[in-house]
Amino acid sequence: MSGLEHYDILITNIRELLPMDQGGPVKGAAMNKLTILQDAALAIRDRRVAWIGTTKEAKTLSAATTIDATGKLVTPGLVDPHTHLVFGGSREEEMALKQQGVPYLEILKQGGGILATVEATRAASYEELLQKACFHLDRMAMHGITTVEAKSGYGLDKETELKQLRVAKQANIEHPIDVVSTFLGAHAIPTNFKDDPDAFLQEMASLFNLIRTEGLAEFIDIFTETGVFTVDQSRRYLQLAKDHGFQLKLHADEIDPLGGTELAVELGAISGDHLAVATDLGIEKLANSDTIGVILPGTSFYLGKDSFAPARKMIDKGAAIALSTDFNPGSCVTENLQLIMAMASLKLKLTPAEIWHAVTINAAHAIGKGKEAGTIAIDRKADVVIWDVPNYMYIPYHYGVNHANTVIKNGEVIFERQEIRCSKYAT
């Protein structure tokens, strides 16, 4: 080894490196402060980040693989903290209804929407669901996501909810991306419980023990919404989940402002998600709490909304915000978190620095992985993305395409952009 430090992977000539290593979730004005290392280098050994310095200092290092990142941005792997990853079928026929102006909750009321996906998910085998989930995870990985949260909620019966959770658990084992599971049995009221939502919640809550002992989910979530579950039903259900030792999440204030944001804070939920129509009171409470607001502008866009979540106000008041795709077959059908970063800039008026916090460190904290994901630091698991962009401001600016050049998950290259052979300038 000739006295030189030897590494597995060495990345040199990095134009900008964002470590995102502040530790805790980043709140309020601090979200706009970014540490940028220029002309940086990074070395990985035994799947961990082993060395960070300048390209000049890296000259004395050797590695099995050296990657030249001249002109490029390097960041932690993106964390997507809210997806409905495991489902059967698709809902493209709902597009025409949407164009006719039929609201999302009306489609659901007519047995479409979530309930249509429930039918397809019940009909799909475990293997089919696993294969499909891994297909979507591949797409996420290609777009720079290295950790993802996955919700159940398309079973709405015990058997299918457990099938979905077991698929997510297996996907976490089989796929390089880390998958963190949430039980969302309380996602809609199935037709056989239409007149007795409380009995349905009881049925779902009866799974808590098994889910806990089998380690099938870390979080319990509920859709608190008009025509789905009320604030009171949500409070009772989530309190029970808390008593079972789970951390809490809520689909809150997505369409109607029922006070779900306030409930998330009241219950000490790890995150309140959507918050698209959160009130000033809800924003104030969120800002003075440890609950992270997970904002999903892709869903507002996809549902044809004119207004977006008051994320600007939330940060200005001091809240910690994360961003997510909400990847699901009905209300936001994309695996591309980079596209959501552009929407956060254009529609939520977040700055590029705020957006980077929202898709790395804060997103990791929103799923209880703040110590493992969303940060580049010595001895951390090496989840690193090399982007084909000159600086951190570029991704929210150049939208709708994939900027990922190389994705490293747990110290291994899992994606490299393919060359297209039509230009003599291809790099």
**Cα 337 from chain centroid (whole Å):** 8
Q: Which of residues 152-171 bind Zn ion (CB under 5 A)?
A: none
Which residues fall within 8 angstroms of residue 156, CB to CB, at 6 or more apart? 118, 185, 187, 188, 189, 190, 200
Residue 353 Cβ, how far from ligand IZC at the closest point, in Å? 29
> Minimum distance between the CB of residue 141 and ligand IZC, rounded to whole angstroms?
22
The minimum distance between CB 94 and Zn ion, in angstroms, equals: 16
Q: Record the tokens describing residue 64, joined without a space.
A: 């099995």
Q: Which residue's Cβ lies closest to ligand IZC? A: 330
E strand or H helix that includes residue 405: strand 404-409
Q: Are 125 and 364 in contact (CB under 8 A)?
A: no
What does the alpha-carbon distance between residue 270 and residue 221 come to, in Å, rounded to a whole number?
A: 10
The structure tokens 């395409």 sit at: 401
Per DSSP, the three-state class of 353 is: helix
Residue 114's binding partner among Zn ion, ligand IZC, none (Cβ under 5 to 8 angstroms by kind) is ligand IZC
Give the residue at shortest CB distance from Zn ion: 326
Q: How far is the CB of 200 from ligand IZC (least distance, A)?
A: 16
Residues 194-223 that bind Zn ion (CB under 5 A): none
Nearer Cβ to ligand IZC (40/118): 118
**Beta-sheet strands, E only, within 111-253:** 145-151, 178-186, 219-223, 247-252
Closest CA to 292 of 220, 352, 240, 364: 364
* CA–CA separation, 348 and 350 (whole Å): 6
Q: Which does 223 bind (CB under 5 to 8 A by kind): Zn ion, ligand IZC, none?
A: ligand IZC
Closer by beta carbon to Zn ion, 12 or else 299: 299
Taking the alpha carbons of 282, 287, 291, 293 in that order, is the dihedral positive or negative?
positive
- Of 413, 389, 391, 414, which Cα lies nearest the Cα of 402? 389
**Tokens 């104030």 label which residue?**
284
CA dist 76 and 392 (Å) reads: 12
Nearer to ligand IZC, 160 or 328 (CB): 328
264: tokens are 């998330």
Nearer to ligand IZC, 50 or 294 (CB): 294
Out of Zn ion, ligand IZC, none, what residue 330 binds, judged by CB under 5 to 8 A for its kind, is: ligand IZC
Between 30 and 120, whose beta carbon lies closer to ligand IZC? 120
Identify which of residues 27 and 251 has a Cβ nearer to ligand IZC in the complex: 251
Per partner kind, with CB cut-offs from 5 to 8 A, the member of Zn ion, ligand IZC, none near residue 380 is: none
Comparison of 74 and 252: residue with beta carbon closer to ligand IZC:
252
Shortest distance, position 278 Cβ to ligand IZC, whole Å? 15
Q: Provide the minimum distance between the beta carbon of 319 and ligand IZC in the complex, in angstroms, as a whole number.
A: 21
153: left (phi over 0), alpha (psi -120 to 50) or beta: left
Contact 306, 278 (CB under 8 A): no
Q: Are strands 37-45 and 48-54 parallel, antiparallel or unpaired?
A: antiparallel
| Residues from 315 through 344 that contact Zn ion (CB under 5 A) | 326
- Please, what is the minimum distance in Å from the beta carbon of residue 50 to ligand IZC? 41
- Closest distance between Zn ion and the C-beta of residue 251, in Å? 5
Give me the residues that bind ligand IZC (CB under 6 A), please: 84, 113-114, 117, 223, 251, 254, 328-331
Query: Which residue, 143 or 187, has its beta carbon nearer to ligand IZC?
Result: 187
- Number of chain positions touching Zn ion (CB under 5 A): 1
CB of 379 to ligand IZC, least distance (A): 37
> Which string of x and - marks every residue 356-395 that binds Zn ion (by CB under 5 A)?
----------------------------------------
- Residue among 36 and 120 whose Cβ is closer to Zn ion: 120
Find out whether 263 and 252 touch, Cβ atoms under 8 Å: yes
Single out the residue of 157, 175, 170, 165 nearest to residue 87, CA to CA: 165
Residues of this chain that bind Zn ion (CB under 5 A): 326
